[in-house]
Amino acid sequence: MSRVTFERSESTSAKLNTLARDAHSNPYHRFHWPAALPGDAHWMDPSLISLAECDGAGELDESQWLALNRLECKNFFSLNVHGIRQLLAELIERIHQPGWEPLSEFFHHFIGEENGHMWYFAEFCNRYSGGLYPDMFRPPGDPGRALVDDCLVFARILIFEEIVDVWNKANAGCPSVDTFVRELNDAHRQDERRHVSFGRAIVRDVSAPLVEELTDRELQDLQTYVASYLNHLYRSFFNPRTYGEVGLNQPLRLRRLALASAACHERFYRQSRRVVDLLMDVGLLADRHFLDEKVN
Amino acid sequence: MSKEVIRAFLEASGHDVSAIDDDTDLIESRLIDSLHFVEFVFYLEEAAGCQIDPRDLSINDLRTIDSIERKFFT
């Protein structure tokens, strides 16, 4: 940790600590949970549905579109729960450890807020959608070097949060989405704004010494890894379980078609543009067209 | 036959399958990493014709071509 200076993240977190104290609310009392949600409302902005704009979408009738919309909301919330659990484990490994002291208070806010998010997304799935999807989309393993690990932990958190924020924003602002689901998405955004601000600062702090220190080959490996993570996240939004549950044939074939479709690629490039700009700027990504053309 | 199916995935992922034995540790040698883990599971589902619950899997089930064959194709 001695080579990292928290120049940006320390000053950013000092401001965010104050905002987090002022914005603090109890997630367990924050929402009025309806006994049931109306049967005809969307739970997701229809433009976010994995098969929207995809050739295979012609196979769905109106009731299947609605069922898929709700199951993909369940998938989105499940991804949040599993993603948060993993990032909390990473942060808890670092809080109050040597070198990380300047950021400890912010980590406390972050951990507390993310714990609340994990609870309400899981609660939604348990109340209205038969529980969470299992953790199919595991994060990458240990790349094996402390400085690389630190950089990738915060890069992964930022990538995940920036893209989720795009989805939350679309859902919160979509008039056809159920009011309560919009409220959940909006509540998540309010906390995530602070997390994203911090994430952008710390990714710059931890990547700067690393990019300077690595050999060309090592940097290339790191960039490949970041590109793989982006591909991994892209694919996690296409859950074949949802296709099977709405009665579509050959869900894995359909998933491959959707994953490879130019329209789906373009949509994800739009959704990830902001974080990709930063990753390119700090040198953690070599090519902004990072999605694999070929899907096994 | 099932071993060839497994090798086909590894080959399509860019690995030289001639250097991979039936007992090569696919995890340790990073031939299957966690980013590609789920794609591999979906591929096995399709090849074996069954749905796989990741909660029922141990990492050792996927460690070698032999162990994958035992778990999903016998």
**Would you call A275 helix, strand, or coil by DSSP?**
helix
User: Which residue(s) pair with A177 in the sheet?
Assistant: A42
First to last CA, chain A: 39
pLDDT tens-digit map of A259-287: 999 999 999 999 999 999 999 999 999 99
The answer to whether the pTM exceeds 0.90 is no
Interchain CB distance below 8 Å, B35 and A229: yes
Nearest-by-Cβ selection for A134 from B45, B46, B53: B53
User: CB-hemisphere CA count at 13 Å for A190?
Assistant: 16
Write down the H helix ranges in chain A. 7-23, 27-30, 62-94, 104-128, 146-172, 179-213, 216-236, 240-245, 251-260, 262-282
Nearest-by-Cβ selection for A232 from B35, B42, B55: B35
d(CA B71, nearest CA chain A) in Å: 18
pLDDT tens-digit map of A6-48: 888 988 988 888 888 888 889 999 999 999 999 899 999 999 9
Question: Contact at 8 Å (CB) between A133 and A239?
Answer: yes
Joined tokens for residue A170: 């679309």
Interchain CB distance below 8 Å, A296 and B55: no
Interchain CB distance below 8 Å, B39 and A235: yes
Question: Contact at 8 Å (CB) between A120 and A27?
Answer: yes
pLDDT tens-digit map of B10-58: 998 889 999 999 999 998 888 887 777 888 889 999 998 888 887 778 7
Alpha-carbon Rg for chain A in angstroms? 19
What pLDDT, on the 0 to 100 scale, is given for residue A60? 86
d(CA A236, nearest CA chain B) in Å: 9
Q: pLDDT band for position B61 (50/70/90)?
A: confident
Going from the C-alpha of A18 to that of each of A12, A183, A215, the distances in angstroms are: 11, 24, 40
Amino acid at A103: L
Chain B positions touching A132 (Cβ under 8 A) are: none
Give the integer Cα–Cα distance in Å for A8 and A5.
8
Q: Block means of pLDDT (10 residues each) for chain A, length 296 residues?
A: 76 88 88 94 96 78 95 96 90 91 93 95 97 74 66 93 96 97 95 94 94 91 92 94 93 92 95 97 96 77
Give the integer Cα–Cα distance in Å for A17 and A245.
43
Write down the H helix ranges in A136-178. 146-172
What pLDDT, on the 0 to 100 scale, is given for residue A140? 41
Q: Say which residue the tokens 């402390």 belong to.
A: A146
Best mutation target among B9, B38, B43 (most A Cβ atoms within 10 Å) is: B38
d(CA B24, nearest CA chain A) in Å: 19
Nearest-by-Cβ selection for B33 from A137, A141, A252: A141
Q: Which chain A residue shows the shortest CA-CA distance from B56?
A: A134
What pLDDT, on the 0 to 100 scale, is given for residue A139? 43
Pick the closest to residue A122 from A231, A248, A27 (CA basis): A27
The DSSP symbol for A139 reads: P
Q: Is A134 left (phi over 0), alpha (psi -120 to 50) or beta?
A: beta
Q: Which helix (H) or strand (E) holds B44?
A: helix B34-48
Q: Which chain B residue shows the shortest CA-CA distance from A253?
A: B46
Question: Contact at 8 Å (CB) between A77 and A202?
Answer: no
For chain A, say whether B43 makes contact (Cβ under 8 Å).
yes
Interchain CB distance below 8 Å, A135 and B38: no
The DSSP symbol for A177 reads: B
Phi, psi of A177 (to 5 degrees): -85, 140
Provide the greatest CA pair distance for chain B. Answer: 32
Q: Which chain A residue shows the shortest CA-CA distance from B47?
A: A252
Give the integer Cα–Cα distance in Å for A268 and A262.
10
Interchain CB distance below 8 Å, B33 and A137: no
Residue B64 clears pLDDT 70, i.e. is over it: yes
Cβ neighbors of B64 (< 8 A, separation 6 or more) are B22, B23, B24, B25, B26
Cβ neighbors of A273 (< 8 A, separation 6 or more) are none
Nearest-by-Cβ selection for B9 from A228, A240, A296: A296
Pick the closest to residue A269 from A248, A250, A290, A254 (CA basis): A290
